[in-house]
Amino acid sequence: MSGATLGTFIVIVVYILGMVGIGIWFSRKNNDVNDFYLGGRKLGPLVTAMSAEASDMSSWLLMGLPGVAYLTGIADAGWTAIGLGVGTYFNWLIVAKRLRRYTVAAGNAITIPDFFSNRYRDKSHALLGISALIIVIFFIPYTASGFAACGKLFSNLFGISYIPAMVISAVIIVGYTALGGFLAASTTDFIQSIVMTLALIIVVLFGVQTAGGLDVVMDNANALAGYLSLTSIHDAAANTAGSYGFINIVSTFAWGLGYFGMPHILLRFMAIEDEKKLTLSRRVASIWVVISMAVAIFIGIVGYSMSKSNAIETLSGADSETLIIKIAQLLSNHGFLAIIFAGVILAGILACTMSTADSQLLAASSSISQNILKDVLKIKISEKGTMLAARLTVVVIAVIAVFIASDPNSSVFGIVSFAWAGFGGAFGPVMLFSLFWRRTNRNGALAGMISGGAMVFIWKYLVRPIGGAWNIYELLPAFLVASACIVIVSLLTKAPEQEILDEFDSI
């Protein structure tokens, strides 16, 4: 192992030990499952904002987005970022405060399935069971994708075999999550958002300097057909531009709809100490998301100029997602301080992945231990036993995710895309109608949840392969079908009881 590699390794190890230390510290603050899964609703506005966005971005921010921009220009990456930016803002604007207030009124719900069940007074527990099952179905492979990303990072950097690297990463994430619960996950996510920000800044400054300056970067990008256009997509093989049409724009922009159904983000809204501080959280979160995604796309453009000047190798296909890793490795050859900066960049990639995986572990764990075992199956457990079950569930879910992630050739982005559509289609419409339409009833919510989740599978595997006008991201048709089912079934079945309507009106 070279001196530069050893230096970056030490920086990453120090970072990881810090995350585990936070888990140990907060393990003493978890007195019950409300603390473990929702932090006792004690989050401050900055931690709420940044932990929500850090848990959202995953390694996609520092690997996927720059890679797409590097290969094809700004259209595909740009419209995705615009959709996510708009979705982020409106999720904070219209959902956050009302959900925080409503979950307290609706039986002090501490999970999303709890809220749906309490909101509609569902004595059959069908909403509770199905929503918990949906969380498990989509979050276990989502968590696996995070473990896989960590394994690939360590394997590529330090020459460690993929499986041991992936397992070690999983053990670290499970360690501080199982110990510290929600407060540990949120605090580490907040710190990880800072590390991610530093990584973006360092990469941009070093990349532009290495490429020959901002003028050179923009001249090189302008020389490529359609590279800087939002309506064209660059074809690197032929150096031509293809049309990025209306269907592509709508399909990509639809990524923003997913926010309304993301359990690990919605939980942050539920956990803030004071709903009045959500305005500050919204501003901080929205500004950070927009700037960080814009910088990530710009890194892809800078990376092309670095390849053109032979500072880094030319990347193709899936290798484009290693762009920031290549830049960090180049930076580490420029002295001691540069090694520290390179370590921060690589820790930033790790932070993206860890901040998402820990939140997913908690959400999936709460669905099993709290909603399925305790609420649906009616297994009686003491308060101490409930805490033990919560921690054991985190471990069990992680073991399953490790097994799924054992294939080093698994597509991280493909899994993330599918899970995002699953939550957006199954939960997004139900969440919005639950908060804003008083006529929605339990049957409508159940119909929307089932139809939205099912349509994700139907569209992805049966309809989308047809191609052409049908090649639309599965989230959009699933969201529309679920919304229609909620309205139709709610109107065709009995109206909600007066108690439910009164509670809705009070919110």
pLDDT in tens, 214-258: 999 999 999 998 899 999 998 877 778 888 888 889 888 899 999
375: which DSSP letter? I
| Whether the predicted pLDDT of 35 surpasses 60 | no
Of 39, 105, 134, 133, nearest to 434 by C-alpha is: 105
pLDDT at site 209: 92
Rounded CA separation 244/236 (Å):
15
Rounded CA separation 272/90 (Å):
18
Q: Which H or E run contains 241?
A: strand 240-243
Q: How confident is the model at residue 332 (pLDDT cuts 50, 70, 90)?
A: confident
Helix then strand then coil, in percent of the chain rounded to 5, is: 80, 0, 15
Distance of CA 347 to CAs 111, 173, 191, 389, Å? Answer: 30, 14, 11, 31
Other Cβ atoms less than 10 A from the Cβ of 425: the count is 34
Q: Which two tokens stand for residue 275?
A: 């709903």
User: Do 425 and 260 form a contact (C-beta atoms < 8 A)?
Assistant: no
Other Cβ atoms less than 10 A from the Cβ of 161: the count is 12
Look at the pTM and tell me if it is higher than 0.95: no
| Whether the predicted pLDDT of 498 surpasses 90 | yes
Rounded CA separation 455/499 (Å):
33
CB-facing half-sphere around the CA of 365: CA atoms within 13 A: 30
Amino acid, res. 104: V
| Whether the predicted pLDDT of 119 surpasses 60 | yes
pLDDT at site 218: 94
pLDDT at site 257: 93
Q: Which range has the top average pLDDT, 80-84, 246-250, 269-273, 338-342?
A: 80-84
Burial class (CB in 10 A: 0-12, 13-18, 19+), 458: middle
Rounded CA separation 473/491 (Å):
29
Place of tokens 């090189």: 220
Place of tokens 């079945």: 493
Rounded mean pLDDT, 483-502: 96
φ/ψ of 154, rounded to 5, equals -65, -35
Place of tokens 């709460």: 366
- Find all residues with CB under 8 Å of 498, minimum gap 6, and list them: none
Place of tokens 């309506």: 231
Angle between helices 278-308 and 64-72 (to 10 degrees): 40
Rounded CA separation 371/354 (Å):
25
| Whether the predicted pLDDT of 37 surpasses 80 | no
Backbone conformation region of residue 201, classed left if phi is above 0, alpha if psi is from -120 to 50, else beta: alpha
Rounded CA separation 473/248 (Å):
9
pLDDT at site 192: 72
Angle between helices 126-158 and 3-26 (to 10 degrees): 150
Rounded CA separation 436/173 (Å):
37
Predicted confidence (pLDDT) per residue in 132-189, tens digit:
888 888 877 777 777 777 777 777 777 778 888 888 878 877 776 666 566 666 777 7
| Whether the predicted pLDDT of 32 surpasses 70 | no
- Going by their DSSP bridges, the two strands 240-243 and 232-235 should be labelled as antiparallel
φ/ψ of 352, rounded to 5, equals -55, -45
Q: Which two tokens stand for residue 206?
A: 């070093």
User: Do 46 and 190 form a contact (C-beta atoms < 8 A)?
Assistant: yes
pLDDT at site 40: 58
CB-facing half-sphere around the CA of 93: CA atoms within 13 A: 8
Judged by average pLDDT, the poorest of 6-20, 77-91, 106-120, 403-417 is: 403-417
User: Do 264 and 359 form a contact (C-beta atoms < 8 A)?
Assistant: yes
User: Do 66 and 300 form a contact (C-beta atoms < 8 A)?
Assistant: yes
The residues facing 232 across adjacent strands are 243
Share of the chain above pLDDT 90, in %: 33
Q: How confident is the model at residue 30 (pLDDT cuts 50, 70, 90)?
A: low
Rounded CA separation 423/403 (Å):
22
The residues facing 241 across adjacent strands are 234
User: Do 62 and 348 form a contact (C-beta atoms < 8 A)?
Assistant: yes
Helices (H), 106-230: 112-119, 126-158, 162-211, 214-222
Of 442, 348, 400, nearest to 120 by C-alpha is: 442
Q: How confident is the model at residue 29 (pLDDT cuts 50, 70, 90)?
A: low
| Whether the predicted pLDDT of 82 surpasses 90 | yes
Rounded CA separation 175/157 (Å):
23
Amino acid, res. 54: A
